Amino acid sequence: MKTTPTIVLFRQDLRLADHPALWAGAQRGPVLPVFIPEPLDEHGAAWRWWHDRSLAAFSAALTERGLPLILRCGDLLATVRELVVQSGASAVFWNRRYDPSGMARDRALKAALLADGVEARSFPGDLLAEPWELLRGDRPYRVFTPFWKAFLSRGQVVELLPIPDHLQAPSSIPSSDNLDSLAWRPRKPDWSAGLATAWEPGEKGAWRRFRDFLETGLYCYDGGRNEPACHCVSRLSPHLAHGELSPRQIWQQMRETASRHPQLAISADAFLRELGWREFSWHLLYHFPDLPHTPLRPEFARFPWREDRGALSAWQRGRTGYPLIDAGMRELWQTGWMHNRVRMLTASFLVKDLRIPWQEGAAWFRDTLVDADLANNSVSWQWVAGCGADAAPYFRIFNPVLQSRKFDPNGVYLRRWLPELGALDDTDIHDPDNAGKLALARAGIVLGRNYPFPMVDHALAREAALQAFAQLKK
């Protein structure tokens, strides 16, 4: 074992268990955990709120084991070089990341450190398989089902790594910036109260959430995951996005649960397939780094999108006049999260009913989601817009009223987020515009005053969208 320290860089992997770089560093000798924040414009406000809390929890977990978390703000290479000198470190380890800008910075960091004579190593990041390991011949997959079949044919996922038994701090500890210096917490007015009520960031909170899902949600996941009022979904996505759990941990735990309880096997497989979509999204982003801004299907660069800042604002604020859309957008604003089925429907409404570019929706989600994930967000928006890999056909245009009646038949989800509609019966609450005057009066609703009229006629908007799509074929 070496006595010179190893700097371990932490980014979106704020955990102690199943952390390859931390494990390798601990086997080598003393470890200096370091966090260097990325430029602010790379992450949205809700993501930063979560990461601030997650960093505090991670720092406390390290302190319990006698290690400091060194926080330094500044240029990545210059800051790491400074810390190498101050700590006497002879190696710098990190888990790989797969976003284009992060990979570029890490490649430059590794090349510079090796030139300095410092050992620099990267380890598998928070994916089940490296994006370059699954190819169709020499080409990346562009359709999910064959990608997932190829993944499953590989067999077992890499074995998990425990928390290192012995974590030793270096004899020389460099100074650290204060967490408050990041300025990631909301200024006045503080909009984060709903987030703080809904979530417990950190590795311990992640495991509590996961165990609760395994005990109370997984049994109904296969049948209930499309119902936004149902408790069957895991809500693990923020913990994954911030690396408080690894997908390998989720995979192994889910397989073990299904093995012990065969009646849960169908739900477990359905859940792991969703984990597979996350994997597929990072596969695509790695091979097509322009995905966050550029349609994968190039003909969609000619699509006649509309620019309408007023309509975009109404969608963002949950004031479209379509209850399921508005409920989802208000859930997003208050909690930093939205049910997956409702994400799909709100996205479809923006790009097809309003014909506003998908990039605008992706940008809003990126700023307001605590689970903002560049790959999943970009790929999923392109999927809904019909311009990406394995995309939903553009002519699949969801009717928000019919979807509401199908997936929230008793209006439980609607009443939770739209209390002004709460007195309407289970039929009228999905479509207040077509409720009778008497029903509206009894419920105390004046359309246009305390709840908006529908901002578009869905049937007409659908026809206009189809006509716009038809122009691409000419």
Residues identified as active-site: 274, 277, 305, 340, 358, 381
Conformational region of residue 438, where left means phi above 0, alpha means psi within -120 to 50, and beta covers everything else: alpha
**Do 384 and 393 meet the contact criterion of CB atoms below 8 Å apart?**
no
What the block records as the tokens of 431 is: 């479509």
What the block records as the tokens of 298 is: 């190039």
- End-to-end alpha-carbon separation of the chain, Å? 68
Kindly state the helix (H) or strand (E) to which residue 435 belongs, with its residue range: none
What the block records as the tokens of 449 is: 């005053």
Q: Which residues, 6 or more positions from 340, have their beta carbon under 8 angstroms from its beta carbon?
A: 225, 233, 274
* Bridge partners (DSSP) listed for residue 33: 8
Give the pairing of strands 31-35 and 6-10. parallel
**Do 271 and 254 meet the contact criterion of CB atoms below 8 Å apart?**
yes
Q: In angstroms, rounded to a whole number, what is the distance separating the alpha carbons of residues 265 and 269?
A: 6
Residue 90 is given by DSSP the state S
Q: In angstroms, rounded to a whole number, what is the distance separating the alpha carbons of residues 177 and 52?
A: 13
Report whether the peptide linkage leading into residue 189 is cis, meaning its omega lies within 30 degrees of zero: yes
Backbone angles phi, psi at 6, to 5 degrees: -115, 125
**Do 227 and 216 meet the contact criterion of CB atoms below 8 Å apart?**
no
Closest CA to 253 of 35, 239, 242, 340: 239
At 9 the three-state DSSP class reads: strand
Q: Which residues of 187-202 are buried (b: 16+ CB within 10 A; e: fewer)?
A: eeeebbeebeeebebb
